[in-house]
Structure 1
Amino acid sequence: MVWGQRKRFADGKVTVPFKRFLGYDMGPDRNLVVNPDQAKIVKRIYGLFLQVKAPHTIAKTLTDEPETFTAAGNEKWNPSTIKSILTNEKYKGDALLQKSYTVDFLTKEKKANEGEIPQYYVKGNHEAIIEPEIFDLVQKQMALRTKGNNRRRSTSIFSSKIICGDCGSFYGSKVWHSNTKYRRTVWRCNHKYGNEEKCQTLHLTEDEIKEVFIKATNQLVDMKDEVISNYEDMKEMLFGTAQLESEQGKLEDELNEVAGLIEDCINENARVALDQAEYEKRYNGLVERFDKANGRLEEIKEQITERQARGQQIEMFLKDLEKVGVVEQFDEDLFLVLVESVQVGRDKMVVRFKDGTEVEG
């Protein structure tokens, strides 16, 4: 039975074993058929993500909306569900088969496939809900998300946006005088007292942050024609990938050549009684050469992905900027779309927009 199923996969014949899959119903051939009502929710999730809203924020937004249900019919959405939807290739019409496999057919225990068994990728298997270009853009944007101690969080639109100019840590919200009539919320460096020297940067109210954004954005609007023109002049130098792609092609040729030499080396040793010390030296040298080229190839691929994603992010930013006029009041969506970060110093704040332009607020 296992062999038969894998043979079907290898032949490109897809059946998707699912009970609930947001955006799709099971068709008569057990393949995916678009559910129009649910597909609107999926498109909305991708749209919100491209507005720079994180899975946590998207989950909260959908949970707060009446009659917006998960595939299981729940009103509460989880960030993990949102992330799964944003990374599932089936939404662009393709199907990656055997992502997991059954370890023991008696206990039905399953395990994520990490190379133990073959995987099969079928392109254009069913009708797409998300355009492939949009899906690929979302994957590139996800690759830009930072990790580590300063990883991005989404409990507020200002989370992971406000940066301490002294130590580089994110600002967080703190409640002062919580049990008195003077209670108020301020934003300050999360590590203000965590370093040997206490950070001397300003603490801010949300109203002060909003005022700085409005002031900086209006300055950016005044010079937007110049910003757009500068990008057109510089985009090939900053985000072009032709040279990297050329190196990628050479490295792939190198890997194919070395793989052939390794195979020839092994076959020769099997046919002829070679000096084993010489054989091992030759074999290890080829493997080292292969690993070095493969390591560099992975670096190149990562650089290409990062450049393409960054370039697409800036082009989206400039399209949004073209539509912006004079800002008179704070707009949450506009803040998320335009602002990369706000760096707070001891006596000033600098707003860094997504194209790299910095404006003192």
Structure 2
Amino acid sequence: MEARKKVAAYARVSTNSEEQLTSYEAQVDYYTRYIQAQGEWDFVKVYTDEGISATNTKKRDGFNNMIADALAGKIDIIITKSISRFARNTVDTLTTVRKLKEKGIEVYFEKENIHTLDGKGELLITIMSSLAQEESRSISENVTWGQRKRFADGKVNMPYKHFLGFEKGTDNTPQIVPEQAEVAQLIYRLAFYRKSPSYIATLLTDEGIPSPAGKKRWRPNTVESILTNEKYKGDALLQKSFTVDFLTKKIKANEGEVPQYYVENSHPAIIEPEFFDLIQYEIKQCRERGLWKSCAYPFSSRIICGHCGGFYGPKVWHSNSEYRSRIWQCNEKHRGQHCTTPHLTEAEIEAAFLIAFNMLLENRDEILEAYEEVIEALTDVSDLDAEQEQLQSEIEIVVEMIRKLIGENTQMAMEQAEYERKYNGYCARYEEGNKRLAEISELRMERIVKRAKIRICMDRISQQENLVTEFDEELWYSMVDYVTVYEGKSMVFTFRDGREVKLSADVWRVV
């Protein structure tokens, strides 16, 4: 049986005139009766503010008490007459709605017939975000608006004292600090090797490399912020945070309350854009597949059991004798899985890799000759870009139609059944377009990442003129995506560019 909902309402009028007070009393009576009449609801109370201007939420004790009670778990649903009655401005409304939504608390705007927790509530937030720009101009100090104007003009500013790799140049634009840029490049290279932020932070601390703030100890979140900051590829997302109130100077992360601006090629890049995108994909994969749980060894999270699909992990044999060695076997064997795949010594893995990589080298000329053609065929994104542009244009039109519809419903009497039909239709188009945009974004990223992987592999192959005779850890990291082991010690090497090399046990055991 579904739990009963705790429901409250909010009523406010702007002046103390007798006419407004009558309206105010009517609202209180209406919402009290309405909520109590619903069998599945428990009436909390009607929170009120009378004779108070909407321009300052600090003076609205009823509103503030209601939000505090809701966040304390005393309210599940808040009903109010309209968006304009709820908070002092678009930014306030949007901030409050998001705060409540995080706690699973719904706001129902009766006049606009909008529920913030349903799928269309997200659309409301998007529409409100698009409205926030002009409103924020009127409620911000001139200095704040001036800063936003600089953002709109694409002028980049950085916290240089705490930003690794850049300093303010003579023309007030970011310029690269070479020795710091090398550290940033090392961090990205280690991430490409699938080393976790914790591992990288420990390594940098042990090497005595100062953090961006000049401290001896690196923290994982510092590493992760460097790995995900678009400024390292020469772009800039501006206004990631904003000042909520110019009096308190409170700053919060921008979740759509005020406009953001993305500027491409705004300054020199430390990391190649294509490689940066590859790292974002690698980070996502590592999180989803748990590849960061074990990254201390080159073979960690790269050897897969062909029987159950689990990862191979290291085990120490003869730990207290001169025959001590580290072997690799399926982790699932220790969890009751009766896998038929064998264990492997590190020498066996290294030997098999040398043969697999050298088999690629033997076909190097043929591979390199088709290099550009293969990249173009596999990674062209022009079709996706065209569809993305068309969809974005259509979504903008739909959003404008919804804004217009909501405005008409607010300002004049509309047949609510007709309003609901149009509103739901527009929302369906919006959601369908956004769903397809997300699919396109994912497909586009996959193709860009594939292109980056192919180029990295091709570069390594072109640089290697002779067959490899010794195991090279960096070569392993650069080339191998994963290795699948089967019964009898046969293996399939899947390289980062998607190529596969199959080795029977007889082929590689002769080494």
Q: TM-score, normalised by structure 1?
A: 0.84
Contact between 2:340 and 2:487, CA under 8 Å: does it hold in 1? Answer: yes
**TM-superposed deviation, 1:329:** 0.7
Q: Count the aligned residue pairs.
A: 356
Within 1, Cα distance between the matches of 2:248 and 2:324?
Answer: 56
2:285 counterpart of 1:175: no
**TM-superposed deviation, 1:328:** 0.7
Within 1, Cα distance between the matches of 2:235 and 2:363?
Answer: 43
Compare 232-241 and 105-114 and name the one that shifted more: 105-114
- Cα 1:322–1:163 shift into 2, 3 Å: same
Pick aligned residue for 1:83 from 211, 224, 237: 224
**TM-superposed deviation, 1:222:** 0.7
Query: Secondary structure at 1:148's aligned position in 2?
Result: helix
Contact between 1:164 and 1:345, CA under 8 Å: does it hold in 2? Answer: yes
- Cα 1:269–1:110 shift into 2, 3 Å: closer
Deviations 1:254-296 (A, max 9, x none): 2123223323433443455332112111111111111111111
Q: Structure 2 counterpart of 1:304, which letter?
A: R
Identity over the aligned pairs, expressed in percent? 42
Deviations 1:115-149 (A, max 9, x none): 34444555666x53516xx1453133322441335
Deviations 1:190-235 (A, max 9, x none): 212325x411211111111111111111111111223334554443
Task: Report the equivalent of 2:277.
Answer: 139
Q: Structure 1 counterpart of 2:144, which letter?
A: R
Within 1, Cα distance between the matches of 2:356 and 2:487?
Answer: 18
Question: Where does 1:223-262 land on structure 2 (aligned, <5 Å)?
Answer: 223-262=363-402
Q: Between Structure 1 and Structure 2, whose CA radius of gyration is higher?
A: 2
Query: Secondary structure at 1:191's aligned position in 2?
Result: helix
Note the aligned Cα RMSD (angstroms): 3.3
Within 2, Cα distance between the matches of 1:220 and 1:42?
Answer: 31
Contact between 2:140 and 2:246, CA under 8 Å: does it hold in 1? Answer: no
Contact between 2:300 and 2:312, CA under 8 Å: does it hold in 1? Answer: yes
Contact between 2:191 and 2:279, CA under 8 Å: does it hold in 1? Answer: no
2:484 counterpart of 1:351: no
- Cα 1:94–1:213 shift into 2, 3 Å: closer
Q: Structure 2 counterpart of 1:183, which letter?
A: R
Query: Secondary structure at 1:22's aligned position in 2?
Result: coil
Query: Secondary structure at 2:299's aligned position in 1?
Result: coil
Q: Structure 1 counterpart of 2:279, which letter?
A: Q
Question: Where does 1:196-345 land on structure 2 (aligned, <5 Å)?
Answer: 197-270=337-410, 272-324=412-464, 325-345=466-486
Q: Extract unaligned runs of 5+ from structure 1.
A: none
Query: Secondary structure at 2:332's aligned position in 1?
Result: coil
Q: Structure 2 counterpart of 1:113, which letter?
A: N
- Cα 1:317–1:204 shift into 2, 3 Å: same
Q: Structure 2 counterpart of 1:240, which letter?
A: D
2:240 counterpart of 1:99: yes
Question: Where does 1:181-192 land on structure 2 (aligned, <5 Å)?
Answer: 181-192=322-333
Pick aligned residue for 1:128 from 255, 268, 273: 268
**TM-superposed deviation, 1:333:** 0.8
- Cα 1:56–1:243 shift into 2, 3 Å: same
- Cα 1:124–1:334 shift into 2, 3 Å: closer
**TM-superposed deviation, 1:345:** 0.8
Contact between 1:165 and 1:201, CA under 8 Å: does it hold in 2? Answer: yes
**TM-superposed deviation, 1:77:** 3.6
Compare 52-61 and 268-277 and name the one that shifted more: 52-61
**TM-superposed deviation, 1:317:** 1.0
Compare 310-319 and 251-260 and name the one that shifted more: 251-260
- Cα 1:321–1:76 shift into 2, 3 Å: farther
Q: Extract unaligned runs of 5+ from structure 2.
A: 1-138
Contact between 2:228 and 2:280, CA under 8 Å: does it hold in 1? Answer: no
Q: TM-score, normalised by structure 2?
A: 0.61
